[in-house]
Amino acid sequence: MQLIDGKAVSAAVKQQIKDTIEKEGLEVGLAVIIVGNNQASRVYVNNKKKACEVCGIKSFEYALPEDTKEEELLELIDTLNKDDKVNGILCQLPLPGHLDEEKVIKAISPIKDVDAFSAVNVGKIMIGNYAFLPCTPAGVMELIHSTGTDVAGKECVVIGRSNIVGKPMAMLLLHENATVTICHSKTKNLAEVCRRADILVSAVGRADFVTADMVKDGAVVIDVGMNRNAENKLCGDVKFDEVAPKCSYITPVPGGVGPMTIAMLMKNTLMAKRIQSGNYEA
């Protein structure tokens, strides 16, 4: 069993971005909007700002009060859509309950939608003609590639069908010629289906959900979960100590997929700059 070091892979991605920006003398900017005082959101936003510094990307933060009206938020997005210094726009989710997330995502210009959440970008991923990739699934692909595993022809199982991870994850694996099964709460004989997987990706959000009897010997296991166990300790979906001995490669939590999500956001922001400069056909 070998651990897949997300910190090392993400550091290499960020270094590559930094080198490109310096070499080409680019000015790249990312605007991050945070509404309210969600502590987890604040941690994520701070991590994104740090990653921007590492990569040489200018970071613009817009911290809005909890009671911000929807029209005020949409007005800010409209202003940022028109600002040439801003190449990427990210609105940190979840938003306070009185704001319509779908409407907010829709308001972000597709060529500045570096989270790849808009219907336009999701559609492009579906047909395989994309510039931006959803950050977490793209990070997972980088981790799989870092092991030297060829995805083509492999049996891949994705547990979870969210729009942010599960569905786009399946598409990216499919684009690399894998045979993909998506599992969810209504899947029958889940353990049996998972045991077929050469590559198993769990994005279900339940601590210790994946146990050893669900994993094929020699499988590559990617744990996207970020949960707290009974001792309030950060853990993934995979019962790590039990599953790890069966794997050829496995990601730890923390230090696996997490760092990759932000690295891929930086990559998307650089891509957004290229598109807006006319150096790439979106």
Contact status, residue 254 vs residue 261, Cβ threshold 8 Å: no
Residue 181: enclosing H or E segment and its boundaries?
strand 179-183
Q: Which of 92, 154, 167, 216 is catalytic?
A: 92
Name the amino acid, one letter, at 8: A
The DSSP 8-state label assigned to residue 92 in this structure reads P
Structure tokens at 105: 């995502």
* String of DSSP letters for 6-43: HHHHHHHHHHHHHHHHHHHT---EEEEEEES--HHHHH
Q: If DSSP states are collapsed to H, E and C, what string results for 124-150?
A: HHHHCCCCCCCHHHHHHHHHHHHCCCC
Q: Which of 14, 112, 115, 239 is catalytic?
A: 115
Q: Which of 48, 154, 167, 239 is catalytic?
A: 48
Separation of alpha carbons 89 and 87, rounded Å: 7
What's CA 181's distance to the chain center, in Å?
20
Separation of alpha carbons 66 and 228, rounded Å: 26
Phi/psi of residue 161, each to 5°? -130, 30
Task: Reply yes or no on whether 115 is catalytic.
Answer: yes
Give the CA diameter of the chain.
54
Phi/psi of residue 44, each to 5°? -60, -45
Q: What are the Cα distances from residue 2, in Å, to 240, 246, 276?
A: 12, 11, 40
Active site residues: 48, 92, 115
